[in-house]
Structures are given as C-alpha cells and as structure tokens.
Structure 1
Amino acid sequence: MPGMKWKMVVDSLRGRRRRLPCSLWFLLLFAAGGLVLFIHQQDLSEMVLQQGPGMKLRSSPRQSRETLSTQDRERGKSDNYQTKGVLSSLIPPMQFPHFEAGKQTATPGSREQSRRTSSPVSREQSRRTSSPVSREQSRRTSSPVSREQDMTVVHVSKRQRKLLKTTPRIHHTTDGNSSLSSSTNSSPASFRLASGFFTPDKWKKLADVQIARRQLMKEMCAKYKSSISRTITAHHVRNLFVEDKYKLLYCQVPKAGCSNWKRTLIVLAGLAPNARSIKHDTAHGGRYLRELNTFDRKGIMHRLETYTKFMFVREPLERMVSAYRDKLENPNDYYHNLFGKPIISKYRANPSPEALNTGNGVTFKEFVQYLLDVHRPVGMDIHWDQTNQLCNPCLIDYNFIGKFENMEEESNYLLRLAGAPPNVTLPSFKDRNPADKRTSTDITQKYFSQVSALERQRMYDFYYTDYLMFNYTKPFKDLY
C-alpha cells in the first residue's frame, strides 16, 4: 500500500515535469517574437536616418520628381516640407531640339541633379503630407501650356535624329511611304527661332500644310504618272545632295533658294562656320556636297529609305523669268556661249556678227521661242527645266515639300525638325547680281507682256504639270 502511494506521487511529479517545459517554451517563443519585432523597428528607424541624398527611387514617368530643401530635411518636420517640381513625362515620340520655353529651363543635367539630391523617404513623406485636395488643386491650376513651357531640349542624340523618320512628325510605313503628322503633343508651347516664335498653332498649321502638299502630290502622280516605271536609277537621283550628319537629302531646284540651301548643308556638315563665308562658286563646286548618284545602289537605296528627303519649289513662270534674267540677260560668258549663240542664230532675223560671236543680248521673246521649240538648237538646262523632271517626286517620296514664297518660315520649320542647331538658319542674301530686284509677280508679268497671248498659254502648258503638282494658280487671267 505504501508502495502504491509512492508510485502515484512519482507519476504526478513526472506529469508536472512534462507540462512545465511546454509553458516555458510558449513564454520563450513569445518573448523572442517581441524581441525580434523590437529590433526590426529599431533597424528601420536607423535605416531611415541613415539614408542620404545619394539614394535613388524609381517612380512612374507620369509622376513629378520632387526635391526637398536641405534645411527642412534636417529638421525632420513633415509639415514644413517644401517641394520643387521638376517636370518629367513620358518621352514624346520626337522632342524638337534647341528651343527656349521661356525664362525657366530644365536641362537634362539639372533634372538629373534634382533627382539625385532628393532622398526616397523625403519624396514619399512630401507626397503623403500633401493632401489629395491640394494635389488636385495644383494639378488643375498648372495648365498644359505651362507644363510644356518647362520642357526644353539642349541636345539631340543620333537616336533622336533617327527617330525623325518614325515620329508622328514624319511617319515611314512598311511600304516605304512617309507621312507627316499634324499632332502637336510633342511640340513646345512656343520656342525661339532666329525668325521669331513658333506657337503650337503655327507648328500644327505648318505640319498640316505638309500633309496636304504630299497628299496632293500622290493624287497627281496617280492621275498623270501612273504608267511610269517604279525603278529608281542613278539618273533619277542625280540632283539630290547628301548631308550624312543630319541625314538629309536635298533635291536642288535652281532659282528656288538652291545656292543658300547648299550653303546651309555645308554648315550642317561642319565644313564651314557660317553660310555667309561660303562663296557662290564654292557652294556649287561639288567639293563639299556629294550627289546621291555617286553612291552605289545599296548606298542610294539606304539613304532614300532612311534619310529625310526634301525639296523647295517656286512658281514655275516666275522661276523661269528669274533664270532668264540671271543666265542670259545679265553677263554670263558660259551661258551666253552655250545657249545665247544658238538661240540668236535660230530665232533672230538678221543677227549681227557680234551677237552671233558672243551670244549676248538674247531677248525674252527669243528665249520663249527656244523653250517652246520641239527641235531646240540646244538642250534644256537645269535652271529652267520642269521641277518634276528634276526631282522625280512620283518616284521619290519626299518627306517635305517647301515653297520659295514662304522660304524663311518653312526652312526654319524643316531645320528644327531635322534637329539642326538653333543658330543655323537659311540665309536670305542674294549674291549673284545683288543690284537687281528679286523676280516677283510684277516683274514676271512685265516680261510676259513682251510675248503674245498664245505664247503665254503655251508657256503655261509647258509647266502645267508643275502647276498641278505643287498647287500654283494660273498666273494670268486669260489662260485656260
């Protein structure tokens, strides 16, 4: 009996020993968990205090990057934080280079510096302390125009110039065709050019004009040139000049700003400091600019597919009068010998020996007779040949068709599209026969008053395709 009692006491003690460790383990685990939580909180606070200005935080491209003042960050008072918003947005399809958007500028370097000097914690605290109402009010009061005015680009990378072919400004489709977009989302509110300001409305208007001109060209080619061969040969690109740095192809149309465009391309290529320092003979000598037809076929097709192709045109009869005045009316030994002599010999009754010997003094009526003659004594010249024959716009899909009549504005627009430096603009000086007035509508009518109505009609017919393709109106009321 006593042995059984002793056994029961021993068994009860053993049970207590089994239950006691379970309680202790529970208490130990609870204490350990609390200790870990406490240490974790301490580590977080220390981490927050140790984070410096060099820490980076990636945010959505649509959010503003905020910079906190150093003084407020040291105080640690969230209610006194002040932020400087440095606008950042989704990279537009094409950022137009080298413009000023007002007095404030945000260069890529300044944006990077602002991003680095603001810590992630300070940006997050600033975001939290600003109420939804204040953020919404700020968003509403900052207009799209003001946000656009804070954007500026001071450098154009090779990639951006390459994007010129695929941006909303100039689209290239899979079939090689190109189109200009009228969207102004990526254009600044206004930016300074040498000739003044381009507002968004003006920018959009110029883009719309290009769309209309290119569409008209396609319609005219489909109507009048649908049967021509689509194979492009070196002969078709003989008048295209290459500027590889900015990836430009310029089709020269003499008497439509040709000399000054060549000067500008030479400057863009970095071969001259400015256009005025380039003499006329230098611009036309072919020493600095290379014609597209001097490349092999692979080089020709590569540039036609990837470069910006442009041309500038002029009212056809006005251009023809300008060519006559420059090459035949004014002193010019080369043209007088090559064209003056045969023209005088065939179309002048009883020419003097001196005229036959020198070719000087070709009259405008004789020049018109020469152009209208299917059996000309001498061939055509680039200065008075039809523009559609010089540039072949039904074979070559030009991205830009400018007009001499609006040269300053449209040339600046094109140069900004191409990413040219802001100080590079098309010169407007006249270096050949500077004393003569530029050929205008009034001067053109004065010269054509020397010929008959039938000859005026035939001259209009001679350039009729140019009138249609480039949308010029009839120069005389009696034309049909």
Structure 2
Amino acid sequence: KTSHLNLHPKGGVPLPSSAVSSSIKSSSTQQENLEKLQSVIETRKHLMKEMCAKYKGSISKTITPDHVKQIFVEDRNKLLYCSVPKSGCSNWKRTLMVLSGQASNAENIQHDMVHYGGHIKTLNMFNQKEIMHRLETYTKFMFIREPLERIVSAYRDKFENPNEYYHNLFGKPIISKYRVMPSEEALKTGNGVTFEEFIRYLLDVHRPVGMDIHWEQANQLCHPCLIHYNLIGKFENMEEESNFLLRTIGAPPSLMLPSFKDRNPKDARTSKQITEKYFSQVTMMERQRVY
C-alpha cells in the first residue's frame, strides 16, 4: 500500500500516488519512513497555518513581485523554490539547473555559475498573471535552518573570510558604530568585525546599514503566511527531505541533492556546538532578542 503523498495545499495540483509508487520501489521499512516523513511535513504545514492565523491582521493580502523575488522557477517540472541563504540554497539551485536540462551533473557546477550565471529565473521576472498561474499550479517549497545557527553561518562566511564586498558594505559601518576607539585600519578596510558587533548591528533598530538576504529572517524572504508552500523542509534533515521531494515529482532516480559544502570547504560546517561557542560571546538577553 502506497500512501497518498499529496504535497499540495489547497490551490495546488494533487500529486497522484502512482507517481510515487512508480518512482519509489520501497521495502516496508522505507515505506514506513516515507509515511513518517509525510506526517512530519503535514504537521509542519499545520503549525505554520496556526502561526499565520495569529498574525493574520498584519499579513499582506496581495502578492506583489517583491514578495516572490527569492523564488526560483523550474518550469519543466513545475517547481518553485524559495531560496533562504545559508540553508543549503546553492545545492538546490544546482539541482534545479539539472532538472531544467541546463546541466547534466550537479556536482560539477561551480559556485559562481550557480549564483551569478543567471541560469534560473526568479518569479518576479514574470508578469502578474504568469506569477499567479505558477503559484497556483506549481509545487512550492523552501528550506529553513535553526535561526541562531544560520546567523553564525552567515557571520563566519561573510566576516571571518576575505570578502571585500561585505567588509566594505557592512564591516565599515558596523565597526564605526559599535567599536570603541576603532583603528584607522579597521575603519578603512571593514575587516575584523567581531561576532558581538555583528549581533549588536542585528538588534539595532537604527542600524547603520540595511539587512542582507544572508541573515534576513526566512519569513521576510519567502512570506510563508502569504504563499502556501507544499513543503517547508528543514536544513538539518535536508538530504532526506530533498530526495523525498525529488522522488515525488518523478525526477530521475539517479538525481540526488548534492551534499558538499561549496563555500570555504576547509571550514567545519556550522553545527550546534559551533553555534553555542559563538553565542557564548553575547549576553543571554541579546541571544533571546536575536531568536
């Protein structure tokens, strides 16, 4: 017996169970795992619905191009992926390029080609009618990451490694505002922002420079109360949930989400332990406010 893995909320296209049964030849254990995962996904959607109901008054009723600028479009398989940086987005973009026929192997696609090659359109590039058609008929998904871990990952990537763009645009004003007696060198280069300074910037309503997609909240990037996602996946279980999605849409069995870390590969992936180490540098009050 194959369960009906209907990933589509109201307004989407129901996924026939035959699409799943033909692509997943599973043992009873695998079947059990699939059903468990499906149950987890449904629970998440239910929790999201409850959460959104609480904030219903403050949620926009109209979807504008600005709401969908982080959503990547893969027309061939009718997929919409909302990209949350520092939550595995590079590997999902690689996978979309393979699904759309622009690449044959996700593992061989370089980081710059993924992010700056312009190979995948974003939904805001279409007119309103085309945007709404895709939102109503395509499978929509996003992945989220434990928020504190994502912040540490963004800090390590952008401020602990050479990055002229981020050090210039964010480092200089952060050091200028939050450091007592900064050196001329620090003000000139923006290098060496401490984690404590970064957190003070995040918590400051009068911050000296705006937010960036790498640490902006996922709900501000993907608007899950306005757009009803079929799958809200978790970065911590990304491989299993991504491959589950690939099988349910009928992707070739050989296509799996790549699991490599493509930015600063020599650095250990930001874990719970690493996150704890960084947040031990700030006060409990600051930690709670960030969360």
TM tier relative to shorter chain: over 0.9
Residues 363-382 of structure 1 mapped to structure 2, 5 A cutoff:
363-382=194-213
Q: Which residue number in structure 1 is paired with residue 36 of structure 2?
A: 205
C-alpha separation in 2, matches of 1:328 and 1:221: 34
Q: Secondary structure at the match of 1:256?
A: coil
Question: Root-mean-square deviation (CA), in Å?
Answer: 2.4
Indicate if the aligned counterparts of 1:213 and 1:401 stay in contact, CA closer than 8 A: yes
1:158-187 C-alpha deviation (Å, 9 max, x unpaired) = xxxxxxxxx7523454xx268889x89963
**Residue 427 of structure 1, CA deviation:** 0.5
Q: Secondary structure at the match of 1:191?
A: coil
Match of 1:428 among 235, 259, 262: 259
Q: Which residue number in structure 2 is paired with residue 187 of structure 1?
A: 21
Indicate if the aligned counterparts of 1:247 and 1:307 stay in contact, CA closer than 8 A: yes
The 3 A distance-change label for structure 1 pair 198 and 406 is farther
Q: Which residue number in structure 1 is paired with residue 7 of structure 2?
A: 170
Counting aligned pairs with the same residue, the percent is: 67
Indicate if the aligned counterparts of 1:319 and 1:384 stay in contact, CA closer than 8 A: yes
Identify unmatched segments of 5+ residues in structure 2: none
Q: Which structure is richer in relative contact order (CA contacts within 8 A, separation 6 or more)?
A: 2
In the alignment, is residue 451 of structure 1 matched against residue 288 of structure 2?
no
The 3 A distance-change label for structure 1 pair 329 and 271 is same
Indicate if the aligned counterparts of 2:9 and 2:230 stay in contact, CA closer than 8 A: no
C-alpha separation in 2, matches of 1:332 and 1:277: 24
The 3 A distance-change label for structure 1 pair 289 and 206 is same
Letter in 2 for 1:329: E
C-alpha separation in 1, matches of 2:173 and 2:166: 11
Residues 335-346 of structure 1 mapped to structure 2, 5 A cutoff:
335-346=166-177
Q: Secondary structure at the match of 1:290?
A: coil
The 3 A distance-change label for structure 1 pair 198 and 333 is farther
Letter in 2 for 1:191: K
The 3 A distance-change label for structure 1 pair 397 and 344 is same
Letter in 2 for 1:376: R
Indicate if the aligned counterparts of 1:188 and 1:200 stay in contact, CA closer than 8 A: no
Residues 280-291 of structure 1 mapped to structure 2, 5 A cutoff:
280-291=111-122
**Residue 344 of structure 1, CA deviation:** 0.4
Q: Which residue number in structure 2 is paired with residue 402 of structure 1?
A: 233
C-alpha separation in 2, matches of 1:326 and 1:171: 35
Name the larger-Rg structure. 1
Match of 1:329 among 140, 145, 160: 160
Identify unmatched segments of 5+ residues in structure 1: 1-143, 149-166, 461-480
Q: What TM-score do the two structures reach when normalised by structure 1? A: 0.57
1:136-171 C-alpha deviation (Å, 9 max, x unpaired) = xxxxxxxx7xxx8xxxxxxxxxxxxxxxxxx75234
C-alpha separation in 2, matches of 1:422 and 1:289: 22
Q: Which residue number in structure 2 is paired with residue 214 of structure 1?
A: 45
In the alignment, is residue 439 of structure 1 matched against residue 270 of structure 2?
yes
Letter in 2 for 1:330: N
Indicate if the aligned counterparts of 2:159 and 2:167 stay in contact, CA closer than 8 A: yes
Indicate if the aligned counterparts of 1:191 and 1:198 stay in contact, CA closer than 8 A: no
Q: Which residue number in structure 2 is paired with residue 270 of structure 1?
A: 101
Indicate if the aligned counterparts of 1:248 and 1:307 stay in contact, CA closer than 8 A: yes
Q: Which residue number in structure 1 is paired with residue 179 of structure 2?
A: 348
Q: Secondary structure at the match of 1:312?
A: strand
Indicate if the aligned counterparts of 2:150 and 2:215 stay in contact, CA closer than 8 A: yes
Indicate if the aligned counterparts of 1:178 and 1:399 stay in contact, CA closer than 8 A: no
C-alpha separation in 2, matches of 1:251 and 1:421: 22
The 3 A distance-change label for structure 1 pair 272 and 369 is same
In the alignment, is residue 315 of structure 1 matched against residue 150 of structure 2?
no
Aligned pair count reads: 290
Q: What TM-score do the two structures reach when normalised by structure 2? A: 0.93
